[in-house]
Structure 1
């Protein structure tokens, strides 16, 4: 199975190609190594003729000397049963020979044109092949006669093959490591713009639909995909804007007719005036919360500044103090911690967040009970002493227009949805705390964006 990463695929393809090339080179070397012994000896003799011709030096007096490489000269000196040469001029006079030995003696006595000869040795007869060649040097013709044994050529070729294979293996391994490092560096630089575009795309959300991806530095094959993604964002932004504008406009336009309808009901003197006024009040509350929802869903409506959370909570508690008195519920605010640094927030939105949570707690708290608000340096808790939230209802808590079983039943079902929108816009998290055995429901708002991001928490109905 191919890896999912584009970088890994490119590196894998390159390494496979390199391994295929190395395998082909090894196969060629193996084919050369499996040549017949006769062919190897013939090639060796041809190379020796070239060595003699290139190493020959003729002095001013016509004397001939041979300057052979140490490797070649040492073979003739050490292997006198297996190697010999004899160089003659155009008149048949010997001008240079290898060191005296059985091979040279047999070569000197060998008839002209003989392709092979045998040398008697203590460990058995040695079979040598003979090569004759004539060449020109300094205007004169020379004749070279060279003999090499089969066993010498086979031994030298085998030793050379092993050296070549070891050196080749080392070179291949080093080349693979170097090639892998270079390819890894190059591929990473190639896909870096793609990773940057992916990070930008991951940050796109309902509150920053105006973000667009840039195609500079990206491969040409990816540019159409980026353009298509930007076009989709454009359409999505337009649709979201139209929806929000419609929501705000509809809610705003409904406020005046509802106010007139409420006034007409109050003046009509109908027998069911109280019931009608209650219905119109609930409709007005829903319209008011729709306007709030439209406002908090747009990121440009926020003005961020350092805000002390405790002071905003105190304002919200004071604002709802009459509601708490009417319901016979006490509100207690406590702090835990030594330092309470300010948080970057929109003070108005934070007030609405605390007010909605506190109002929700008051709606569900029994008469004579207490709502507790605990403020910590990076979060705050709002707990009531009511019946709590059933397991089946927890997934619905933050859905719009869903209402629990509040005592008065006049909720619009948008309070917690507005809380979630505010938290998302600030990079905070809101959650129903996990069941700790205490009565009622406890909502926790984490205001430390760094800690929330590191922990990977998000707004949820079931806790972290």
Structure 2
């Protein structure tokens, strides 16, 4: 569970999504805090802007008679004129909370709301006929007012509008505050439910090349060192990492090729001197020492031959796949090892060649693979027992009746230079490793399992 958690925290996509969630939450908190601040601390600034804007709108919609005297205000929505009676009725309904009037240049009232001049003080800021905001008291309530000057046919008219602070707060709490809450809620939902999926799918699209790189890297093996990670569509932040990895692959491939070439060259060059040594020993007089030397030479020759086979099996260009009858191939390998089986008192049990099972394979490499599997079975099978071959359309199995392999040693069967404890010969432990190389080169799988008694090795395509 801890590993899963740490893996999630190390995910680039998870970190970006987490950053988005934190940013969204902080944005929502900031918006809510701002809304609360406006509710409790809006004060005169918000109220003043509202009153000034309303006064300016009244001034722009002021209507005049033929003598140029203000007589009313046009309806801001419909464009129709509000007559003096309607205007008074409107402001009468507001009682002492709001008032409206128009003064001439001398300060005389020419148009007013229902309260008339009694609403406005006779002195103080209300008598200053210049554009701007001001405040005064009326019946114990603080009034917020504004003046806007209008010029008409060379004459100046001063439009004044006033409203109580308590009325403004009441309107704000009744209308603006609910709409503010709805707005914050909608914004939060949009931020989380709309932008969240957008961020998620954007991340999936942006990180898709990373998945492709990961898949390509997972497929690289000693048989595909020529492959390189794709660079097309890779985010520029990851491009240097991909380029560096590709350069590492180039160096690894170069070193691997040098190693394989050295192994093949060394094995090939050793064949000639070993053959000369064998000839010299065979020409020497017969003695116990001569037989021991011939055994040592045979042992060396086998090791060199296996090293050469291993080097050849590791190079894909050495394979020439053709249609091969697997029953015939198994019989040929068994015939080649018949003398060894007879010497070990081991009998082959092979399927009949009445039908063909055709696989695409390199004939020489397949012969080596089957020969090594049968030879390994012979070397581990006790005298008087048998080695059985099973051939089906999609697998070939070789089983012996030997002691098998301890469970803790089973993973080492196909490792290079590993030798089972019950082998009769003194081989180098490369036979099964060569089989695995050949199987992998063909795209096959080679597995081993306990047969109770013995070991069963399965080659499957």
TM-score scaled by length of structure 1: 0.80
- Aligned residue for 2:100, secondary structure, equals strand
CA contact (8 A) 2:334 2:348 kept: yes
Shift of 1:269: 1.5
Equivalence for 2:62: 56
Equivalence for 2:453: 439
Verify: 1:30 aligned to 2:36, yes or no.
yes
Equivalence for 2:130: none
CA contact (8 A) 2:101 2:111 kept: yes
Shift of 1:289: 0.9
- Aligned residue for 1:142, secondary structure, equals strand
Verify: 1:364 aligned to 2:380, yes or no.
yes
Tell me: CA distance 1:78–1:306, structure 2 relative to 1, closer, same or farther (3 Å): farther
Equivalence for 1:151: 166
- Aligned residue for 2:9, secondary structure, equals coil
- Aligned residue for 1:81, secondary structure, equals helix
Q: Which deviates more from structure 2 when the two are superposed, residues 140-149 or residues 410-419?
A: 140-149
Equivalence for 2:72: 65
- Stretches of structure 2 lacking an aligned partner (at least 5 in a row): 1-5, 79-85, 127-135
Equivalence for 1:218: 234
CA contact (8 A) 1:363 1:407 kept: yes
Verify: 1:317 aligned to 2:324, yes or no.
no
Verify: 1:117 aligned to 2:133, yes or no.
no
- Stretches of structure 1 lacking an aligned partner (at least 5 in a row): 119-125, 448-464
Equivalence for 1:47: 53
CA contact (8 A) 1:370 1:384 kept: yes
TM-score scaled by length of structure 2: 0.81
CA contact (8 A) 1:49 1:144 kept: yes
Tell me: CA distance 1:112–1:141, structure 2 relative to 1, closer, same or farther (3 Å): farther
Residue from 81, 91, 94 that aligns with 2:95: 81
CA contact (8 A) 1:208 1:299 kept: no
Tell me: CA distance 1:161–1:389, structure 2 relative to 1, closer, same or farther (3 Å): same
- Aligned residue for 1:411, secondary structure, equals coil
Tell me: CA distance 1:262–1:406, structure 2 relative to 1, closer, same or farther (3 Å): farther
Equivalence for 1:400: 416
1:199-218, aligned counterparts within 5 Å? 199-218=215-234
1:285-434, aligned counterparts within 5 Å? 285-334=302-351, 342-406=358-422, 408-433=424-449
> Take 1:193 and 1:152, find their aligned partners in 2: how far apart are those partners?
61
Please give the per-residue CA displacement for 1:386-442, whole angstroms capped at 9, x wherever unaligned.
111123433432222222244532333111111121222233322221x46x21111
Shift of 1:163: 0.8
Verify: 1:191 aligned to 2:207, yes or no.
yes
Equivalence for 1:456: none
> Take 1:200 and 1:7, find their aligned partners in 2: how far apart are those partners?
20
> Take 1:357 and 1:111, find their aligned partners in 2: how far apart are those partners?
119
Shift of 1:313: 2.6
Shift of 1:286: 1.1
